[in-house]
Structure 1
Amino acid sequence: MCAVTVQTFAQFGQYEPWRHSLVHVQRGGLLLWVTRGQGVLHMHGVRRGFGTNNAVYIPPDHLWAVDFGRQTLGLAVALPRDLSDHFPKTERLLRVQDALAQSELTGLIEDMRREQQQDRPFVGEALAAQSALIGIWLRRQIEALPPQTKPRAAERLARRYATEVARSLGTGINMAEIAAQLEVSPAHLTRVCRDTAGMTASEIQTQPLLHEARKLLVDTKTPVKAIAAQLGFNSAAYFTRFIQHHCGQSPRQLRQAAQHTAKPALSRRG
């Protein structure tokens, strides 16, 4: 079973903030529980503000990013794909007003955190069971909500576009081609994305590509030429120019700089 991680927001955002500030594809499930402060989320093509006692869930294969405000506190629970079945299938932002529900979620996450830190038998099974309980908590909160109003046409289009961006990452398809698939013009798609996400359609497509490129450069030893091919670039030279333009460093310099960035060891079990 893959690892479960529980981190404070300080741990989650302290090192290499690009990992969460760039729009990117969430590979497993992610729960953010905000206990103090506020910030802004990109949730699959739509911009949302969040505050104290908000629970955010991002399912696998969805686009997201977060900008934490100053002094924002909370807990982040990252789940492997195989433990996400008990969770909602779409991204959710819940404003939890009931004090009992707030303490219940905090307790569930803290139980998982303690389990993660202790070297005890059957820890993987325990974390899986605790993940399921958190998923049930989320679905109970959603079940108690009043019926939702139908999203605006602009939001529906932005979410369809986000789905196609996530699905086509690394294929080399461009924004205009996705717009054609969605039967809208690139200009209309860009206007819609500016309205719903505060970003252009091209930015929503570029940021996940940049995020994936940086991850491969920092987290693996895969040759630059192979990364370029994997992400749909026509040549290593074009990929190098892309990284240089967005990061101010060449792929090699970016990789070398990351090797000198000190990171604390994280407890991961499952």
Structure 2
Amino acid sequence: MSLPPIHVSTLSQWTGGQDWRLTLAHDRPAHLLIWITRGQGRLLLNGTRRGVGTNNAISVPPHTLFALDLGRQSMGQVVVIPDGTDVRLPTGPRQLRLRDNTAISELAALFEVAQREVSHPRPLSQDAMDAHVALMSVWLRRQIAEPEHLPLAMNAAARLSAAFCARVVDHHREGLSMADHAAALDVTPTHLTRACKAATGKTAADLLTERVLYAARVALIETTVPVQDVARHLGFGSAAYFTRFMQQHTGQTPTALRRSAGPEGNTLRRQN
């Protein structure tokens, strides 16, 4: 089966102007390279929350829990690289705070030429895109090797938070509670909650809720799967419980949320 093409866009184009697609803790099936060109905010990555700002490059491997909450005036670009391509990419999540003007100019130029291929497609455009992204990968791996970009050691709370985030990615559709995850990690729910709060500013229950909520919103907006089947797929005991969950966190019933998607939901459903 052929892989989907590499995609380059601005962050606002990528999310369709819907902030929840970035701000809720979630994971993606593709590798992401996010380049912040203006503004600042907060990044959840590898079980830790940290500040993010202009000239930050963020590498998010497939199936890595993350969230990005940027200010209204912030801008950025993203490359979506399908898992399984020949492009060599870092296996771990990384955030690079760039200060070297040469490195910044190099990445800006790579994004600019890739965006030009998107805006003005020509024959062999996807081949050209593959080559540009391969150069981005070289740039990224060179930067990661620089001494100033060596990752900081993680304390015990951050390590536990990262382990919990990995479990959330793998098991968020199974209806497991935060206490179930704590038991699997051989810690008490209280200890897990404190560790996640210290590392991310959110409780373990918050992170689990956000991942389930993200999956629910995507299923309701991007598919025509009946609500009761979405509820069952996400581990809810009943459609009524799922409806209460969605009303609590979005202010809308699942049916109303699906209806409010309007043309965007119809377009996305046609693409699936």
Task: Compute the TM-score of the two structures, normalised by the length of structure 1.
Answer: 0.91
Maintained 8 Å contact 1:62/1:166: yes
The equivalences for 1:130-149 within 5 A come to 130-146=132-148, 147-149=150-152
Q: Please, which moves more after superposition, 59-68 or 110-119?
A: 110-119
Q: Map of 1:1-270 to 2, 5 A cutoff?
A: 1-12=3-14, 15-83=17-85, 86-146=88-148, 147-259=150-262
Q: Distance in 2 between matches of 1:149 and 1:217?
A: 39
Residues 142, 226 of structure 1: alpha-carbon distance in 2 compared, 3 angstrom cutoff: same
Where in structure 1 are there 5+ consecutive unaligned residues? none
C-alpha displacement at 1:40, in angstroms?
A: 0.6
Mean Cα deviation higher: 91-100 or 138-147: 138-147
Q: Tell me the amino acid that sits aligned with residue 253 of structure 1.
A: A
**Contact persistence 1:6–1:112 (CA under 8 A):** yes
Tell me the distance in 2 between the aligned counterparts of 1:44 and 1:210: 20
Could you tell me the TM-score, scaled by structure 2's length? 0.91
Aligned residues of 1:57 and 1:93 also touching (Cα < 8 A): yes
Q: Distance in 2 between matches of 1:141 and 1:247?
A: 40
Alignment RMSD, CA only?
A: 2.2
SS at the partner of 1:133?
helix
Report if the CA contact (8 A) 1:58-1:91 is conserved: yes
Percent of aligned positions with the same letter in both sequences?
41
Q: Which has the higher contact order (CA 8 A, sep 6+)?
A: 1
1:127 positional shift: 1.9
**Corresponding pairs, count:** 266
Spell out structure 1 runs of 4+ moving beyond 6 A.
262-265
Q: Secondary structure at the match of 1:31?
A: strand
Cα distance change on mapping 1:68 and 1:14 into 2, 3 Å: farther
| C-alpha distance in structure 2 between counterparts of 1:210 and 1:127, whole Å | 33
After TM superposition, give the deviation of residue 56 of structure 1 in Å. Answer: 0.9
